[in-house]
Amino acid sequence: MSQPPANPDDAHLREETVSSQTVFQGKLLHVRSDRIRLPDGAQATREFIVHPGAVMVVPILDDGRLVMERQWRYPLAQVMLEFPAGKLEPGEPTLQCAQRELFEETGYRAREWALAGALHNAIAYSNERIEIWFARGLTAGERRLDEGEFLDLQLCSVDELDRRCAAGEVTDAKTLVGLQWLQNWRAGRWVIQGLTPA
């Protein structure tokens, strides 16, 4: 993951790495324990998860409904309603990943793609960065789930998704952010390059 350019105004907050150790290396994640130097010169430990990065797709049907997924999330031991998403493969461009994940998980292909932005969903303990892509002009097809992947598709209106988020039924951070982007874009408050509100 590339680092943003240093801002000189942040110098008094910056922490510097003294040493780094891999604590765990898994198929998806690895955990590091770094010794760091604080701005006042003291040292401390930072434990965090290194993530390859991911994408999330906000798929919009011609009638305005959204293609959502219901999937069991083992750490929470419950089914979650969320937008299609997936991790980047090594060297994979993010748009290619978004197109692949949308097709594999939902069977849909899109005629229009636009990058909305990015989010960091766990900044205190992970470097995971998720790009948010909007997809329109959807054409249905047969999905190709990965081995061991089980999920149901659900179509939701924006208003229905908003009600479910407000009621606390949807708590997935990336889906909440995706809905915020969608609502602000539709209201003309936020611009997504290459995509005009329908």
Catalogue the active-site residues.
Answer: 147
Euclidean distance between CA atoms 23 and 31, whole angstroms:
5
Which candidate, 47, 83, 79, 52, places its Cα nearest to that of 173?
83
Rounded to the nearest 5 percent, the helix, strand and coil shares of the chain are 20, 40, 40
What token pair was written down for 178? 């995706």
What is the spatial distance between Cα 32 and Cα 41, in angstroms, rounded to a whole number? 21
Q: DSSP code of 8?
A: G
Note whether 130 and 191 are within 8 A (CB): no
Structure token digits, residue 170: 């949807």
CB-based burial label for 125 (10 Å; 0-12, 13-18, 19+): exposed
Q: How far apart are CA 93 and CA 186, in angstroms?
A: 27
